[in-house]
Amino acid sequence: MSFNKTMQALADPTRRRILELLKKKDLGVSEIAKNFEMTLPSLSHHLNILKQTDLVTSQRRGQEIIYSLNLSVFEELAKVLAKFFDKK
Amino acid sequence: MSFNKTMQALADPTRRRILELLKKKDLGVSEIAKNFEMTLPSLSHHLNILKQTDLVTSQRRGQEIIYSLNLSVFEELAKVLAKFFDKK
DNA sequence: GATATACTTAGATAGTTGACTAAATATCTA
DNA sequence: TAGATATTTAGTCAACTATCTAAGTATATC
Give the CA angle between residues A52, B47, B54 to the nearest 5°.
Answer: 85
Q: What is the pTM of this model?
A: 0.91
Whether CB of A56 is under 7 Å from strand C: the answer is no
Query: Mean pLDDT throughout A54-67?
Result: 97
Q: Which residues of A touch B23 (CB under 8 A)?
A: 86, 88
pLDDT at B88: 44
Instruction: Give the rounded percent of residues in chain A with a pLDDT score beyond 90.
Output: 80
Buried b (16+ CB within 10 A) or exposed e, A14-33: ebbebbebbeeebbbeeebb
Q: Which of B78, B73, B26 is nearest to B50 (CA)?
A: B73
Beta-bridged to residue A58, according to DSSP, are: A67
Q: Which residues of chain B have pLDDT under 70?
A: 1, 87-88
Nucleotide nearest to B61 (CA to C1'): C27
Query: Mean pLDDT throughout A54-79?
Result: 94
Decide if B7 and A8 are in contact by the 8 Å CB cutoff: no
